[in-house]
Amino acid sequence: MKIKAQISMVMNLDKCIGCHTCSITCKNVWTNREGAEYMYFNNVETKPGIGYPKRWEDQDKWQGGWELKNGKLRLRSGAKLTRMAKLFYHPNQPELDDYYEPWTYDYETLINSKRKNHQPIARPRSLITQQRMEIKWGPNWEDDLADGQSARQDVNLRNMGSDIALEFHDLFMKYLPRVCNHCLNPACVAACPSGAIYKREEDGVVLVSQDGCRGWRHCIPACPYKKVYFNWKTNKAEKCIFCFPRLENGLPTVCADTCVGRLRYMGVLLYDMDKVKEAAATPDKGQIYHSVLDIIMDPHDPEVLAAARKEGIPENWLKAAQDSPVYKLVKEWQVALPLHAEYRTLPMVWYVPPLSPITRRAEADVYLPEATDMRIPLAYLAELFGAGNTQVVARALQRLLDMRLVMRAQTTGDRLPARLEFDVETYQAMHRLMGIAKYKERFRIPAGLQETSQEKLHELQGTCGYTCPGGC
């Protein structure tokens, strides 16, 4: 048993209002510069929809993530020799049109225009070519189902009945915030020919060394979530860094700190590194979620704590893992699920599925896998968060429904449901954490690096870790 610590995040989709505050603050902090105009380390998508970049979930096209080949785990983009043959040309590379061409407007036309009979117009101009352009797509083009046709092209509709798909646009919508998942088995790390992408030992954050990156761009199609970007100015790959300078000071990411809906939670998970490969190679994709739960260890277990101390994990990290809101939501209550576990990257950003309005279901007090009167079809949620396993999503939704019924009963005096998995105190704790939790309850992040000695700190004083263009 080799215990490692991982900073992880949970997002409660019931509380997302689609305001894009997280996207704006992230962009202002990390990608507000030339070459990174189209990058959104954090973006919010409206589902159903094709997402950003276009149809990022279509791995038949992008060949991202991992697959089982003859019982062995390998990158979908092919074996090492196959990938080396694509070193100078990768046919699955996303193009700029799959994102959007960044633009500005000819504001000088408005400012300096002389008196005319007609109102002057500020036409759009490309930030890359500086030429006039026609705007056809953008990072939030599908907001609130604004583009109804693309909603019907959602990749997750493939395994659903055509009768649902035909009426999908009129049924519902929900928001899906996305960041890099900082996976336990990251495909981007395995695909990088120069070894520039790595997973930090101390907290599990996946980063790109700007000094080591050679711009081969194999990481971009290899990431099934398309959260690695290419900076056309520096010819380097860039991605979400989980705001690691803030994490090292005990602060949450910018997107989590500024979230209007307070839907994000961050904390430490302890996992058994020796079982990661086995979990990623689970034959039944619908059971990968359970395999991931098996490698997340109990931070209160004396044996786990002893193994963690042996690996050099300090006491403040162990205490943070014991108080982690992420552990409660993911492992203890099991109401948070991974996004597209079938990609086999073992993502460490989790989602509490939305408890959608139910017609004629409140009296039954139960979510059924075959329920057809849910506003958001269960089969659709299962494609996103259960790798097609409706039982996994139904169980999480049932626990959320039970929590609401228990809290309603305490207010109205109604009888409690006859069938409850947890005791009343547990549902009260769930309600507090997911409903009215304070800042320090939502974020339990230990300050300081795990393996930084006083001598190393003295060496780092007066130096800057950013040696790429635009660094110190």
Q: What is the pLDDT of residues 405-448, one digit of tens each?
A: 999 998 888 888 778 999 999 999 999 999 999 999 999 999 87
User: In this predicted structure, what is the pLDDT of residue 113?
Assistant: 83
CB 25 within 8 A of CB 44: no
Mean pLDDT of the chain: 88
CA distance 77 to 71: 17
336's tokens:
């948070």
3-state secondary structure 411-471: HHCCCCCCCCCCCHHHHHHHHHHHHHCCHHHHECCCCCCCCCCHHHHHHHCCCCCCCCCCC
For the entire predicted model, the pTM comes to 0.90
From the list 67, 159, 143, the residue with the least C-alpha distance to 381 is: 159
Q: Is the pLDDT of residue 309 over 80?
A: yes
Report domain extents, the chain: 1-50+145-181+240-451
317's tokens:
């990290």
Q: What is the pLDDT of residues 360-390, one digit of tens each?
A: 544 555 555 555 567 788 889 999 999 999 9
Least confident of 13-17, 138-142, 347-351: 138-142
> What would the CATH number be for the domain defined by 1-50+145-181+240-451?
3.30.70.20
User: In this predicted structure, what is the pLDDT of residue 369?
Assistant: 52
- Residue that is written with structure tokens 């991974």 in the block: 338
Q: How far is CA 365 from CA 273, 401, 402, in A?
A: 39, 7, 8
User: In this predicted structure, what is the pLDDT of residue 461?
Assistant: 43
Q: Which residue has the higher pLDDT, 91 or 468?
A: 91
User: In this predicted structure, what is the pLDDT of residue 458?
Assistant: 45
- Split at pLDDT 50, 70, 90, the class of 462 is very low
Neighbours of 402 (CB within 10 A): 22
419's tokens:
């069938």
Q: What is the pLDDT of residues 123-179, one digit of tens each?
A: 999 999 899 999 999 998 989 887 767 888 889 987 776 556 556 555 678 999 999
211-238: average pLDDT: 95
From the list 278, 402, 288, 380, the residue with the least C-alpha distance to 338 is: 288
CA distance 328 to 350: 12
User: In this predicted structure, what is the pLDDT of residue 368?
Assistant: 58
98-110: average pLDDT: 91
Q: Strand pairing of 66-69 and 349-352?
A: unpaired
Q: Is the pLDDT of residue 335 over 90?
A: yes
- Residue that is written with structure tokens 């929900």 in the block: 174
From the list 340, 104, 107, 75, the residue with the least C-alpha distance to 219 is: 75
CA distance 57 to 275: 26
